Amino acid sequence: MSTHKIGKGMRVTLNFSLSLKDGQTIDSTFAKAPATLEIGDGNLPEGFESYLLGLEPGAHERYEVPPEQGFGQVNSNNMQTFKRSEFSNEMELEPGLMVSFADARKSELPGVVHSIDDEEVVVDFNHPLAGRDLVFEVEVIDVQPVQ
């Protein structure tokens, strides 16, 4: 085991769980193989990385994460209205349905149907966890410098 602390340029092996404050688990590695990631590589949102900084192997922590540190607040600019005619007639649109669009760079951009009527479809492009208070639990297994 290393005695390194988590910081930029470190590879971290850990178990984690992300859940809503009501206890509903969104994601967890505790019942499967631990995750390995590099701090600062962009795979973990900065807000979550900030909770890990300074931890050492053996640490087991639980944090309440406000939206600003997690996936942000709901942004009304991320609610887009489309004409119903822009969707295929075969597509059974209903609130909660996830739809995928291509952005200007041809990257996939997922959205969730918020509301629908005969003329318009409102699609929410906010992250599904935007505006939510989360619980982030982490157990640090190993910390090594990135080679």
What pLDDT score does 74 carry? Answer: 94
This prediction's pTM? 0.79
Q: Do 31 and 59 fall within a single domain?
A: yes
In CATH, what number is assigned to the domain containing residue 60? Answer: 3.10.50.40
Question: Is the residue at 5 inside a domain?
Answer: no
Rounded to whole angstroms, the Cα distance separating 109 from 101 reads 5
Q: Which residues are CB-neighbours of 56 under 8 A, at least 6 positions away?
A: 3, 4, 5, 6, 140, 143
Segment 59-116, tens digit of pLDDT: 999 999 999 999 999 999 999 999 999 998 888 899 999 998 887 777 888 899 999 9
The larger pLDDT score, comparing residue 45 to residue 121, is at 121
Does residue 147 register a pLDDT over 90? no
Rounded to whole angstroms, the Cα distance separating 90 from 87 reads 8
